[in-house]
Amino acid sequence: MSTTETTAQVPPPRRDMGPEEAVDTAIDEACRALHLPTIRRRVQEMAAEAMRQRSSYKDFLADLLEAECAEREERRKQRLVRDANFPRPKRLEDFDFAENPNVTPELVGTLSDPAWVKAGQPLCLIGDSGTGKSHLLIGIGTAMAEAGLKVRYTTTVNLVNELAEAADEKKLTRTIARYGRVDLLCLDEFGYLDLDKAGAKLLFQIFTEREERRAIAIASNAPFSEWKQTFTDPRLCTAIVDRVTFNAHIVETGTQSYRFAQSQRKRRR
C-alpha cells in the first residue's frame, strides 16, 4: 500500500539575486508555504536582535518559534471570542465592584477560573435589571473563550425562536447537537418573556442535552420562585429549575440598579 506525501513547494531564487537577497526570498517563500506569518513578518527584526545578542542558532530558532506560537494562540483566542457571538465587549476587569457590593472580586475570581466550566457545572446570575448580570455573563464568557474554551452567547427568546424554526425545517436534532458541543452556553434575558408549553419543551431539550456534561450560564431578572410565570407548565418549570440549580454556582446581584444610579449622578452634575 503506497502513501502520497504532500510537500510545500518553494520556488528557487532568481539567478540575478545576490546571496543575502536570495536567502531572504527563500525564507519569505518558505514562511508563506508553511503558513508562518509571524516569522515571515518578524524574521529580519529578530535576526538583527539575535546578532546583537550573539545568540546561538538554536536560541534564535527557539525565539522565532515561540513568537509564532504566541501570536497563533492570540489569534485563536480572538477567533473563539468572535465565534461566541457576544453582542458587545464586556470584561470582568471592568466590572464596578464599588457600585454592586453583592458581587465581590473574590467571587469573580472564582468564576473566571475555567474549572467549573470543565466540570459541566451551571451558573445562575439572578438580580434586577441594571445590576450587572449581562456584564458578568459576557465577561465570564469572554474569559472562558480566552482560556481556549468554546462559548456561545444568545438570549432566551432568540434560542427558542431558533429551535422552533429548526423544528419546522426538520433540523431540530442537528441544532440541539450543535448547542450541545460548546463548552459554555451563555443564556441571557432568561425569564423576560413567558414561554408556552412548546417553547418550554424546546428549551428543556437544550438543558437535557447539556446536563452534567457541558456548562450553562444564565442571567435572569426573576428569582426561582417566579419562574412559574415564565414556564406555564409547572412540571417543565420544576424540571428546568432542577437542571440549572443542581451543583450550580448561584450569584444574586441584588435589586439596586447601578445604571440608574449612574444616570442620577450625571443629572446632578
Can you spell out the DSSP letters for 174-209? HHHHHHHHSSEEEEEEETSS-B-HHHHHHHHHHHHH
Pair 149, 250 in one domain: yes
Does 136 map to a domain?
yes
Does 1 map to a domain?
no
Pair 40, 148 in one domain: no
pTM of the predicted protein model: 0.80
pLDDT digits (tens, 9 = 90+) for 4-21: 555 556 556 555 667 788
Provide the pLDDT confidence category of residue 1 given band limits of 50, 70 and 90: very low
Mean local confidence (pLDDT), 67-85:
95
Question: Do 261 and 99 touch, CB atoms closer than 8 A?
Answer: yes
Pair 183, 225 in one domain: yes
Is the confidence at residue 177, as pLDDT, over 60? yes
Pair 51, 166 in one domain: no
Identify which of 114, 113, 144, 139 has the alpha carbon closest to the alpha carbon of residue 125: 139
pLDDT digits (tens, 9 = 90+) for 25-70: 999 999 999 999 999 999 999 999 999 999 999 999 999 999 999 9
Q: Which residues contact 105 (CB under 8 A, 6 or more apart)?
A: 97
Domain carrying residue 67: 19-80
C-alpha to C-alpha distance for 51 and 27, rounded to whole angstroms: 17
Does 190 map to a domain?
yes
Identify which of 186, 218, 210, 202 has the alpha carbon closest to the alpha carbon of residue 84: 186
Does 86 map to a domain?
no
Does 13 map to a domain?
no
Pair 183, 235 in one domain: yes
**Residue whose C-alpha cell is 451558573:** 123
Q: Domain total for the chain?
A: 2
Query: Which strands, in side-by-side order, build the sheet including 249-254?
Result: 151-155, 184-190, 215-220, 123-127, 249-254
Does 45 map to a domain?
yes
Is the confidence at residue 263, as pLDDT, over 80? no
**What's residue 234's pLDDT?**
86
Pair 126, 244 in one domain: yes
Mapping DSSP to helix (H, G, I), strand (E, B) and coil, where does residue 171 land?
coil
